Amino acid sequence: MTDETIAAISTAYGEAGIGIIRISGEQAGFLLDQLFRPASEGPVPTDCARQLRYGTIIDPAIDQAVDEVLAVFMPAPATYTREDTAEIYCHGGLIPQRKILELVCRAGARPAEAGEFTRRAFMNGRIDLSQAEAVIDLIKAKTDESFSMAYDQMAGRLFQKVQTVREQLMHVLVHLAASLDFSDEDIEFISPTEIDCVLAEVIDQLEQLLATAHTGRILREGLKVAIAGRPNVGKSSLLNTLLRENRAIVTDIPGTTRDTIEEILDLGGLPICLIDTAGIRDTGDKIEKLGIEKSQAAFRGADLILFMVDGSQGLEPADLSIAWEIAAKAVIGLVNKTDLDQKIDLSKINQILPTVEFLSVSLKENRGVDLLETAIRDFIYGGAVRTSVHPMVSNQRHISLIEQAVEAARQARLELANKQTPDMIEVDIRECWSKLGEITGETVHEDIIDEVFARFCLGK
Amino acid sequence: MQYEMGEYDIIVVGAGHAGCEAGLAAARMGKRTLVLSMQLEAIALMACNPSIGGTGKGHLVREIDALGGQMGLAIDSSVIQSKMLNSSKGPAVQSLRTQADKPTYQMAMKQALERQKNLDLKQGEVSGLIGEVFPSSGEPSEMSNYGIRVTGVILTTGASYRAKAVVLATGTFLRSRIFIGENNFSSGPNGLAPALELTDCLQEWGLKMRRFKTGTPARIAGRSLNYDKMIEQPGDSRIVPFSFMNEELEKKQVSCWLTYTNETTHQVIRDNLQRSALFGGQIEGVGPRYCPSIEDKVHRFADKEKHQIFIEPEGLNTDEKYIQGMSTSLPEDVQVQFYQTIAGLENAEIVRPAYAIEYDCIDPLDLKLNLEHQKIAGLFCAGQINGSSGYEEAAAQGLMAGANAVLAIEGKEPFVLDRSEAYIGVLIDDLVTKGTDEPYRIMTSRAEYRLSLRQDNADLRLTEKAWEIGLISEERRHKFLKRREQTETERLRLENTMLKPDQINPFLAALEEAPVHTKISLAGLLKRAAVTYENLASIDPDRPDLSVHVIKTVEVDIKYQGYIEKQEQQIRRFKKLEERKIPEEIDYTNLSGLRIEAQQKLQHIRPASIGQASRISGVSPADINVLLVHLEQRRRQKNG
């Protein structure tokens, strides 16, 4: 309970200019060293405790920078929790914060429970006695909250889904338990092939759930949309049209990329963070290196790019260079100014962006904007995924548990292939089952035993 | 008229499987011990099946042996068939099961008691306990649990014996009642007398009594069976001893026989269901799910066309056969009818009819982890009185209760094994923390850390601990140290003996295994699925001559190293919570923030550690957090 390293976003949701990710526990320093790359040559954060270091957070899986940050390592006991603590100061947008938290958790930390830093601080003697009651209240409030969460519709569906997967695992576990504990009985045999099939199915379903993590996050935090296009194609008009038609929730929030402005708007119930990159390309020097870097940074942070070209003119080299920049991203194409004579030939762009569909719009005449809105909505729901019927994972703790469950199921399949004995394989399957049980809050292995007796006729 | 008959340190009430181990453990730890049995001929009676061991149970026997107990030695001296169950299903679930010659087993155990220094064995029925108010002097503790302390026992003869601690190992004898069909009568198992008086005294002392039920099938005359219609079930070619004291057992083995029920059998049972004591509603006690009566099987698993029946010998010098799989509370005339529908049993002659038996037991949630009653100092309970079932489960608790009774009167720390150390730990923790609503049976699925809790390494896990509290003889200790050293040496030898590809590849080819291209150690080879310590012999000619126990442990430790290491990590995490002790005198009703259900459960069960508290059903992780905060608060108040 207290030996695990925990992590959480410590700043309020999405409102501040900077976000703080706090990590506490034995592994805090180790985790920070793994993910942090200093901007200039120098020691890793654990070797220069209590000094704020400037650098980037790297996603080790793809060796890519996630955000530029300040980070510090503070050894125990002179910290808030009196444990080793690391703090990462990143940009205030939700996306970099979540991404960094996700990386920290993937590297070995566990998302902190509400009030857990405070509880640890208390347990380690940091907070005085009078505050103990407050800690208890905090824990209690947390229970009440998760209690009501269980009744939340979306969470309810997730629990149901996880429950179904657990039942499949339970089927295997019960057969294994019965055949191991009652080997004399004539119990129907469960073959390694059958176990493998169930595991493959389980992995498949869990991965589908993980895929929805994307949609779930968007629903919670908003879709980051960037508008790309060379000057004067109508980017500002698009921004204004969208803002005019859709009630703006917040304006002028400093974004993750400092040279851009985020507008948050509500598109038929879906939160959209519009990154206005207008300032980037219109600075004048179009081929200037700095300009390209800045726009690239904006595009990188976006979930979706609206790429606009001018239908009344032929393609220019700038259009093509932008197309190259965004080739790896999700893109919706827009051909603007369709109220004028059309001179554009999209074939060159189609070669660069073969899967991108171009919508014809006229912002001046306010035509085609509804098509765009539909396209954005389709993108969020990924076609097949619909909020109304499918469960979605959006909670970081859930995501990390499902990932661990998948890992355990994979391990079990591997060992099955290696012809490992059933008692060992059972360990991994049970691990998978109990990780999922942590989501639904029921990891009690008596379940299996009860089920064994319910299903099999056993005994002397 | 009462009269004093003597004074002991420890008195054990009952000489079944629990009582015998309790008495022996106490006496071996140097305490003057009295073991009372209602019937000296019935010492260590195997009242049900004629076998010891099986999955999970075999682990318990090995652990009892590793702790210096008697069961393993007794069964080794009376074995008439030996089988290693689950030999293909992995080392963690491999379990030894042996058929016993029942009379030999009993005599072996009786002899061990008779020869034990410090131990007196007497016949007598305990009708009540003697006690005193406690604490009699000194400051009462903050929240006084102990109103009374037991100081002796009274027998039905009027004799009384004084003692500092009493172990109750009453088995199925308390107010027991036998049910055969519509008829029932007051009787202990197997025609023995029931103990009718002790329950009243226990209730007066405030113990909450419950009623459990179990049963046993008929015994049938072997001469009336037709073995040609059954399938022979011989033992393994080689007898593996239970006790770590024995390396080799050369004995003649006898076979068991397999046959099946059929549709006619089931029809007879269905036609007579209303005559069963169970279905007729006469039985109020709760029976075990894993040991259902045949009518229960036919009723609940109606689509099953047949159920298997094993015919097992009751001993070498008797013709009686135990009909495993056929316990019932149907009337005797129906029993004859349906037994005779079974292939090979057409002319079966019942020697003793099957019966169900109901008896009084306590709620194990009222016990502490050392098996002492929470409310009565010095009163320990073991075996079926705690709601368990099985000879092995009883013996394990008996040993622990006996040892803890000694430690308690010496004012020493209790001897508690946790769930990561032994199946015994799992068994007792389950009973005391989770409780049970049916006779409890151990299973390997109950053990979270079963890869570490193997039967082959029971001595390595436990013998040293038992030595520290005085349970282990010099002879055993000596043998153990040698075995431990040999195990370590052999492991190192396998890890350090490197072979070249040309020495190995023909061997691998013969096993249809992929060849190697670089040097590899014997241990490295052993990790492959197809390679065993045994078949490795062909390329390891200089291996030392080692006992089965040593070979087994070395092989498993190397073969499953990765898994075992993973499990050891889990165990380290588990231990941290077990080590966070909760003070005994804490009053949960005063702790704010706990949910009511958690408060009540904690107050009843009184867990010894945060780990134990977290296993109580109805206590949530949030409750545990609240508890942690309170404990810290308390600690600071004490220090400040």
- Whole-number Å distance between alpha carbons of B51 and A347: 84
**Which residues from A are below 8 Å from B93, CB to CB?**
180-181, 422-423
- pLDDT surpasses 90 at A363: no
CA–CA separation, A263 vs A255, rounded Å?
Answer: 9
Search chain B and give the residue with CA nearest A417.
B529
pLDDT grade, residue A259 (50/70/90)?
very low
Residue of B nearest to A127 (CA): B633
Whether B102 and B83 share a structural domain: yes
Joined tokens for residue B361: 């037991």
User: What is the distance between the alpha carbons of residues B475 and A278, in angstroms, rounded to a whole number?
Assistant: 88
Residue A137: list chain B partners with CB under 8 A. 593
- Chain A environment of B566 (Cβ under 8 Å): 427
Query: Which residue in B566, B402, B473, B543 sits closest to B33, CA to CA?
Result: B402
* Six-digit token string for B413: 């720390």
A188 interfacial to chain B (CB closer than 8 Å): no
Is B565 a member of any domain?
yes
* Residue A195 at interface with chain B, using a CB cutoff of 8 Å: no
Would you say residue B106 lies in a domain? yes
Does the pTM exceed 0.90?
A: no
Boundary-marking domain end, from B442, B468, B494: B468
Q: Select from B549, B572, B595 the last residue of a domain.
A: B572
Mean pLDDT for A298-304 is 78
* B contacts of A444 (beta carbons < 8 Å): 617
Q: How far A15 CA lies from chain B's nearest CA (Å)?
A: 30
| pLDDT greater than 90 at residue A420 | no
- The answer to whether position B474 is within a domain reads no
pLDDT of residue A257: 34
- Give the residue from A444, A457, A182 showing the smallest Cα distance to B57: A182
| Distance of alpha carbon B459 from alpha carbon B67, whole angstroms | 8
Please tell me whether residues B309 and B430 are part of one structural domain: no
pLDDT in tens, B191-238: 999 999 999 999 999 999 999 999 999 999 999 999 999 999 999 999
- What is residue A455's predicted lDDT score, i.e. its pLDDT? 60
Using a pLDDT cut of 70, give the percent of chain B over it.
98
* B301 and B334 inside one domain: yes
Looking at the structure of chain B, the number of domains it has is 4
The whole-angstrom separation of Cα B396 and Cα B380 is 14
State whether B10 and B81 are in the same domain.
yes
Query: What CA–CA distance (Å, rounded) separates A341 from A311?
Result: 8
Concatenating the DSSP letter of every residue in A348-403 gives HHHHHSTT--EEE-BTTTTBSHHHHHHHHHHHHHTTT--TTTS-----HHHHHHHH
Statement: residue A453 has pLDDT above 80: no
| Residues in A touching B51 (Cβ below 8 Å) | none
Same-domain pairing of B31 and B135: yes
- Is A181's Cβ below 8 Å from some Cβ in B? yes
- Structure confidence by residue, pLDDT tens digits, B501-536: 999 999 999 998 889 999 999 999 999 888 999 999
Do B529 and A420 make contact, defined as CB atoms within 8 angstroms?
A: yes
**SS3 label, residue A265:** strand
- Say if residue B388 is in the same domain as residue B515: no
Is A61 or B554 the better-scoring residue by pLDDT?
A: B554
CATH at residue B235: 2.40.30.260
A304-310 and A223-228: which strand pairing? parallel
Over residues A419-443, the mean pLDDT reads 84
Q: How confident is the model at residue B489 (pLDDT cuts 50, 70, 90)?
A: very high
What is the residue-averaged pLDDT of chain A? 76
Mutate which: A135, A138, A172, A423, vs B, most B CBs within 10 A: A423
**Per the domain annotation, does B152 fall within a domain?**
yes
pLDDT of residue A150 exceeding 60, the answer is: no
- If you write DSSP's letter for every residue of B19-70 in order, what string do you get? HHHHHHHHHHTT--EEEEES-GGGTT---S-SEEE-TTHHHHHHHHHHTT-S
In a domain, B205, yes or no: yes
Judge whether B407 lies within some domain: yes
Residues of A in contact with B593 (CB under 8 A): 136-137, 139-140
Alpha-carbon gap, residue A341 to A348, rounded angstroms: 20
Distance from CA of B230 to the nearest CA of A (A): 16
* Domain end among B572, B606, B621: B572
Q: Which residues of B touch A452 (CB under 8 A)?
A: 445
Domain CATH for B504: 1.10.10.1800
pLDDT band at B269 (very low <50, low <70, confident <90, very high): very high
Whether residues B365 and B348 share a domain: the answer is no
- How far CA B603 is from CA of B362, B381, B590, in Å, comes to 18, 20, 10
Check if the beta carbon of residue B158 is closer than 8 Å to that of residue B4. Answer: no
Does A180 sit within 8 Å of B529, measured CB to CB?
A: no
Chain A residue with Cα closest to B94? A180
Q: CB within 8 A of A167, min separation 6: which ones? A: none
Non-local (6+) Cβ contacts of B601 within 8 A are: B616, B617, B618, B619
Q: Average pLDDT in the B560-566 region?
A: 88
Half-sphere exposure of A444 (CA within 13 A, CB side): 16
- Measured between CB atoms, does A347 come within 8 Å of chain B? no
Residue B325 sits in the same domain as residue B233: yes
Cα dist. B629→A101, A142, B12, B464, B624 in Å? Answer: 27, 15, 42, 36, 9
In a domain, B476, yes or no: no
Task: Tell me the mean pLDDT in the region A193-199.
Answer: 94
CATH number at residue B157: 3.50.50.60
* pLDDT confidence of residue A382: 56
pLDDT value at residue A153:
45
Residue B477, beta-bridge partner list: none
Contact A133 B592 (CB under 8 A): yes
Instruction: Name the residue of chain A whose CA is nearest to B88's CA.
Output: A421
For residue B495, the model assigns a pLDDT of 95
The pLDDT tens digits for A365-414 are: 888 888 888 888 777 665 433 333 456 666 667 788 899 999 999 999 99
What percentage of chain B exceeds 90 in pLDDT?
77
- Predicted confidence at residue A73, as pLDDT, reads 95
Q: With beta carbons under 8 A apart, name residues in chain B contacting A420.
A: 90, 529
> Are B49 and B181 found together in one domain?
yes
- State residue A129's pLDDT score: 56
* Nearest chain B CA: its distance from A71 CA (Å): 30
Q: Where in the sequence is the domain holding B631, given as residue range(s)?
A: 580-638
Q: Are residues B536 and B617 in the same domain?
A: no
pLDDT reading at B99 higher than 50: yes
User: B629 pLDDT band (50/70/90 cuts)?
Assistant: confident
pLDDT at A132: 62
| Chain B, nearest residue to A130 by Cα | B633
Instruction: Indicate the Cα dihedral angle B260, B265, B266, B267, nearest 10°.
Output: 160
pLDDT at A306 over 50: yes
Q: How far is B382 from chain A (nearest CA, A)?
A: 23
**Residue A446 touches partner B, C-beta closer than 8 Å:** yes
Q: Can you read off the two tokens belonging to residue B154?
A: 């009274």
pLDDT at A459 over 80: no
Closest by CA position to B164, among listed B387, B511, B417, B410: B410
Task: Identify the sign of the CA torsion A28, A29, A33, A37.
Answer: positive
Same domain, B181 and B289: no
How many residues would you count in chain A? 460
User: Hey, which residues 80-119 in chain A have their CB within 8 Å of chain B?
Assistant: 119
Query: Percentage of chain A surpassing pLDDT 90?
Result: 18
Could you tell me if the ipTM is greater than 0.85? Answer: no
* Domain of residue B594, CATH code: 1.10.150.570
Q: Does A449 touch chain B (CB under 8 A)?
A: yes
**A-B contacts (CB, under 8 Å):** 134
**Over residues A76-94, mean pLDDT:** 86
Residue B433 carries which DSSP code? I
For the ranges A199-208, B11-20, B524-533, the one whose mean pLDDT is highest: B11-20
* Residue A234 pLDDT: 82
Interface test with B, best of A184, A433, A435 (most B CBs within 10 A): A184
Tell me which chain B residue has its CA closest to the CA of residue A177. Answer: B445
Residue to mutate among A130, A149, A181, with most B CBs inside 10 A, is: A181
The torsion of the CA quartet B23, B28, B34, B35, rounded to 10 degrees, works out to: 20
Structural domain contains residue B311: yes
Strand pairing category for B33-37 and B119-123: parallel
Among all residues of chain B, which has the CA nearest to that of A116? B625
Contact A140 B93 (CB under 8 A): no
A290-294, B119-123, B239-243, B356-360: range with lowest mean pLDDT = A290-294
Nearest CB to B308; choose among A177, A179, A186: A186
Best A407, A420, A421 member to test B by mutation, with max B CBs in 10 Å, is: A421
Cα gap A99→A62, rounded to integer Å? 13
As a dihedral over the C-alpha atoms of residue B579, residue B580, residue B584, residue B590, rounded to 10 degrees, the angle is -160
B262 and B329, same domain (yes or no)? yes
